[in-house]
């Protein structure tokens, strides 16, 4: 019985994450449209895009590593979903902790690097070099933030962190207890979502969408799926660390969508930083805020 429950959770958690992630992608595109005084895409547009890409007749593969790279990119996030506790489902979150989750969340970028490497397109290589440089930029504030939160709650167990915040009520939420770390975390999250002004590795007008340049059909579809997972993972992790998790699903979804909406609203007002400018700003302000927040926590 226990095994069946675990199995159903392992199937359901990524599935729910995918559906919610598609809604988040839709929200992002709608926000962009409204900011530009457009109407924006219809309700099921992310689904149409993914279905269409998987239904393409021609699927141009550049080799085995190209295929495996995409599987790693999606699989890394699928693994992250089952480590993220949501209301009613803990998956295997009690067997792993925040550190494991952080490692797993880096797998997609590395998978993408592998896959793009075999495409042998110079734009793709530049794109992936920039993506890994960007990872170097946002992971340092992110690690500081995670360390601060873990120190504050005296645990790296996400179930434990959420439980303590919910027991203490809104006054005990991470965002009230550690506001500086919360700001640094939001900043790092914005950068890791890869939207403007931190869009250096996509840069459509400059390096032709970088890592995605040789991706067509199901490969691009896989990356679209990955983007859905990415939005969901980042948002739910932020909610778990700073906004007391979700006591029930509506609570969690409202918080998660609000968390994604903030960086997206900022994003579409800005153009793009250069790589060195992005690293400079990420290593200066979020790191400084994070270290200051860490000092208060300790």
Partner 1 sequence: MKRLEQIPVKGEGRGNPLARVFDELTNFCRSRSLFILHYCTGCGAIELPPAMTSRFDMERLGIQPMVTPRQADILLITGYVSIKTLKRVILTYEQMGAPKYVIGICSCTVNGGMYWQSYATAKRLDEYMPVDLYIAGCMPRPEAVIEGMRHLMRRIENGEARGWEDYYRRYDHYLGNQQALFGDDWQTPTDVIAEARHYGLLGEQTLGPHTELLQQVQRPLEALEMRLGHGPEHES
Interface positions with partner 1 (CB under 8 A): 29, 33, 36-42, 44-45, 47-49, 51-53, 55-60, 204-205, 208-209, 212-217, 220
CB of 232 to partner 1, least distance (A): 21
CB of 4 to partner 1, least distance (A): 29
CB of 205 to partner 1, least distance (A): 8
* Cβ proximity to partner 1, 10 vs 33, nearer residue: 33
* Cβ proximity to partner 1, 172 vs 216, nearer residue: 216
CB of 201 to partner 1, least distance (A): 14
* Cβ proximity to partner 1, 65 vs 291, nearer residue: 65
CB of 44 to partner 1, least distance (A): 8
* Cβ proximity to partner 1, 90 vs 209, nearer residue: 209
* Cβ proximity to partner 1, 33 vs 159, nearer residue: 33
Instruction: Tell me the β-bridge partners of 86.
Output: 89
């Amino acid at each position: 019985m226990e095994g069946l429950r675990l199995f159903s959770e392992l199937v359901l958690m990524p599935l729910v994450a995918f559906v919610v992630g598609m809604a988040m992608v839709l929200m992002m595109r709608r926000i962009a449209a409204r900011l530009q005084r457009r109407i924006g895409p219809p309700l099921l547009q992310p689904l149409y895009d993914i279905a269409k890409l998987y239904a393409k007749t021609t699927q141009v593969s550049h080799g085995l590593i190209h295929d495996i790279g995409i599987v790693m990119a999606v699989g890394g996030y699928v693994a992250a979903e089952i480590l993220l506790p949501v209301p009613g489902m803990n998956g295997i979150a009690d067997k792993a902790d925040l550190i494991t989750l952080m490692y797993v969340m880096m797998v997609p970028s590395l998978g993408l690097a592998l896959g793009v490497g075999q495409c042998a397109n110079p734009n793709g290589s530049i794109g992936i070099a920039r993506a890994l440089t960007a990872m170097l930029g946002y992971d340092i504030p992110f690690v500081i933030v995670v360390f601060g939160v873990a120190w504050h709650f005296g645990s790296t167990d996400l179930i434990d962190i959420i439980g303590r915040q919910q027991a203490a009520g809104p006054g005990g939420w991470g965002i009230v207890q550690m506001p500086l770390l919360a700001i640094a975390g939001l900043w790092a999250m914005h950068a890791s979502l890869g939207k403007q002004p931190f869009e250096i590795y996509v840069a459509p007008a400059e390096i032709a969408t970088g890592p995605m340049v040789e991706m067509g059909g199901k490969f691009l579809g896989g990356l679209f799926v990955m983007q859905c997972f990415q939005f969901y993972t980042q948002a739910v992790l932020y909610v778990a660390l700073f906004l007391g998790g979700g006591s029930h699903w509506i609570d969690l979804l409202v918080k998660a969508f609000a968390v994604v909406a903030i960086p997206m609203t900022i994003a579409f007002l800005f153009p793009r930083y250069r790589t060195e400018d992005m690293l400079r700003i990420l290593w200066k302000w979020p790191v400084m805020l994070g270290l200051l927040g860490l000092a208060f926590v300790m």
